[in-house]
Copies of this chain bind each other. A is one copy, B any other.
Amino acid sequence: MSERKQFRDLATPAEAHEAIASLDLVPEAETVPLAEARGRILAERVDAELDVPGFDRASMDGYAVRAADTFGADEADPATLELVGTVHAGVEPEVVVGEGECAEISTGAVMPDGADAVVMVERTDEGVDDDAVEVRTSLAPADHVMPAGADIAAGQRALGPGTELTPREIGLLSALGQDEIPVRGKPTVGIVSTGDELVRPGGDLNSDAGQIYDVNSYTIAAGVEEAGGEARLYPHAGDDVAAMEDALTTAADECDLVLSSGSTSASAVDVVYEVIEDRGDLLLHGVSVKPGKPMLVGRLEDSAYVGLPGYPVSALTIFRTFVAPAVRSAAGVPEPRTATVEGTLAAEERYSEGRTRMMPVGLVEDEDGETLVYPVDKGSGATTSLVEADGVVEVDADTEYLAEGEHVRVTLFSPSVRTPAVLALGEDDPAFSRLLDRLNSSRFLPVGSREGLRRLRDGLPDVAVVAGPTRREVASVELSEWEREWGLVVPEGNPENVGGFGTLVDEELRLVNMDRATGLRASVDAELDRLAAARDAESAELSGAIDGFGFTLKAHESPARRVLAGDADAGVGLRSTAEKLGLGFVPVGTQTVRVRANPDRIEKAGVADLQAVLAGVEDVLAALPGFSA
């Protein structure tokens, strides 16, 4: 690749915005039926082509009269007029109102010739004979009449270009009789996913061959649509040059902008690079933003092109930061109003890579309604970061340290992102997980009991879920507690006759253990201490004698699933998991699960909602084998 264009330095974020702004994404204007115009942006001004109303219009039910005929009339001395006809709404008047005459008229009806005012029916009486009406008030010309064009007159400017069409604008366009509306086109954005290993959601996955589901295509497509564009997915192309070139040039032919995204493999990046250099023009390679190093900006035939990073959080972050504003601008869609929130950093943060950092963060409200902001960094490859982070904080390239309590501004991933009403951290527990289904808005991070308690002490979560024995003392208010039975999950029928951890110590059987941060593991360690005391041995001797004791997983069902897959003889787990998966279970003990709240947050609405839900825990416990109050 010696002929590659050289980009010695990473571009600055400003240069990247400029490069994308220099690409022309603006599609042609189009015409849509009024019924489909909601949310679109008016492409040109709309002037009224007719008067609204189109006629002098009665605005009351009553009688159309000549105002001059009522001069001086009042309750004591009504004017008597001769009733000469009736005018209904939607019908051309067949009557002319002469001097001393009147006509019955409905709201919305056309004023008959001769009449210039309407008297409300409540201010009249039937006269002495059938054709007489007594008017008990004096009227001025135009009383209760809306003259033609009074609402909007032909020739007047009704709506300006760039107006977003909400229900009210649609109302005015209806009144003007317009049903073909000139609107800004939606920029079409082709999304080409790259990487041999990607499988579209819904397809069959061969995990042994390292296949993974394609996350970026639908995620970025949803982002494109949120920004006012129209997304088109192109079948993922693999890493083969010809196939990739075909997908990219087809997309360029059909779309205003082509995005590629997917694989992080160097070979796929090389292939895309080659196609853009061959068939287009590369303007920029790499932005001095974490995570923007692999970003590409250029032209591909007559279309614009941006290459996004492969990791989902990185791809969405770069899309939101650099591409979405360009899509919105091309679509004429205004910047969303609620795209940022202000908050304070919940913990100090260090960083020193010398690039602007788009730091993914989660949000929680403290007891005073202030927003606390905490970094979410599970590695960019983690897709759960997508939902555990609410947005990003942009940190300057030369900021190496952010103190706890520092004021930061968070750019939300979507305008519709809400701060969760309650944030819980700690032990992954099936009863608590089901209770969360009864809350409107919550976030649970399964970090294990130990980490949950530590973060509770530091004041981050509203609530920590803690299982099993704990060493740490943390001030908290216990909201609820229950018991759960744990032990060893074994194959159906317990073919190896596992009786407990003693069997694993004594025989050549393979265990899958739980991570040290979990409460299940704390109970395992306590059980080994008990067993060691009974055998007059050291705990470490026993654990050393168990094959796989050091092979640990974080999720409470995972060891059992390894047993199910035939990869192990026993897994640490819960009776409920064994029954759910149809496996055998060797009970070892019960442990207490405690829901412990930050004492300062007890008054918080989300915590109160959680308490209400916890009050109904019994029926959840009743449905889970091995759980009890």
Binding site for B on A (CB under 8 A): 34-35, 38, 45, 50-55, 57, 59, 61, 87-92, 106-110, 146-162, 164-180, 195-203, 205-223, 225-226, 233, 263-267, 312, 316, 334, 337-338, 378-379, 381-384, 386-387, 389, 413-414, 416-418, 428, 433, 436-437, 439-442, 444, 446, 553-558, 561, 577, 580
Roughly how many angstroms separate A212 CA and B89 CA in the complex, as a whole number? 10
Nearest CB in chain B: distance from A584 CB, A: 18
Roughly how many angstroms separate A378 CA and B53 CA in the complex, as a whole number? 13
Which of A177, A197, A267, A436 has the largest number of chain B CB atoms within 10 A?
Answer: A177
Q: Known contacts A89-B196, A170-B222, A217-B174: does B53 contact A110 (CB below 8 Å)?
A: no
Nearest CB in chain B: distance from A271 CB, A: 13
Roughly how many angstroms separate A623 CA and B196 CA in the complex, as a whole number? 60
Chain B residues, CB < 8 A from A158: 384, 387
Contact A208 B92 (CB under 8 A): yes
Contact A55 B555 (CB under 8 A): no
Cross-chain contact of A151 among B153, B155, B207, B378 (Cβ < 8 A):
B378
Roughly how many angstroms separate A51 CA and B555 CA in the complex, as a whole number? 10
Roughly how many angstroms separate A413 CA and B166 CA in the complex, as a whole number? 9
What 11 additional pairs, Cβ within 8 angstroms, besides A108-B197, A170-B222?
A51-B207, A51-B558, A54-B205, A90-B195, A160-B436, A160-B437, A160-B442, A171-B215, A174-B217, A174-B219, A177-B213
Contact B155 A210 (CB under 8 A): no
Roughly how many angstroms separate A305 CA and B167 CA in the complex, as a whole number? 21
Chain B residues, CB < 8 A from A149: 553-555, 558
Roughly how many angstroms separate A337 CA and B341 CA in the complex, as a whole number? 12
Contact B210 A151 (CB under 8 A): no
Chain B residues, CB < 8 A from A220: 167
Contact A417 B338 (CB under 8 A): no
Chain B residues, CB < 8 A from A557: 153-156
Nearest CB in chain B: distance from A159 CB, A: 7
Chain B residues, CB < 8 A from A555: 149, 152-156
Cross-chain contact of A444 among B152, B157, B202, B211 (Cβ < 8 A):
B157
Chain B residues, CB < 8 A from A208: 55, 92, 110
Q: Known contacts A92-B208, A106-B266: does B222 contact A382 (CB below 8 Å)?
A: no
Task: List the 6 shortest-distance A-B pairs measured between CB atoms, nearest first.
Answer: A90-B197, A54-B207, A153-B555, A179-B202, A155-B557, A171-B219
Roughly how many angstroms separate A157 CA and B440 CA in the complex, as a whole number? 15
- Can you list 14 A-B pairs with a CB-CB distance of less than 8 A? A35-B221, A89-B196, A90-B196, A107-B264, A108-B263, A149-B553, A162-B441, A168-B387, A169-B387, A170-B218, A171-B312, A172-B383, A172-B387, A179-B201
Chain B residues, CB < 8 A from A88: 196, 265
Contact A382 B151 (CB under 8 A): yes
Contact B437 A161 (CB under 8 A): yes
Contact A168 B201 (CB under 8 A): no
Roughly how many angstroms separate A45 CA and B148 CA in the complex, as a whole number? 57
Cross-chain contact of A92 among B154, B170, B209, B436 (Cβ < 8 A):
B209
Roughly how many angstroms separate A151 CA and B179 CA in the complex, as a whole number? 50
Roughly how many angstroms separate A433 CA and B387 CA in the complex, as a whole number? 47
Chain B residues, CB < 8 A from A379: 59, 146
Roughly how many angstroms separate A582 CA and B7 CA in the complex, as a whole number? 62
Chain B residues, CB < 8 A from A195: 89-90, 108
Roughly how many angstroms separate A178 CA and B338 CA in the complex, as a whole number? 30
Q: Known contacts A34-B218, A167-B223, A218-B171: does B334 contact A337 (CB below 8 Å)?
A: no
Roughly how many angstroms separate A233 CA and B33 CA in the complex, as a whole number? 14
Nearest CB in chain B: distance from A38 CB, A: 4
Contact B35 A157 (CB under 8 A): no
Contact B172 A200 (CB under 8 A): no
Cross-chain contact of A213 among B174, B206, B316, B383 (Cβ < 8 A):
B174
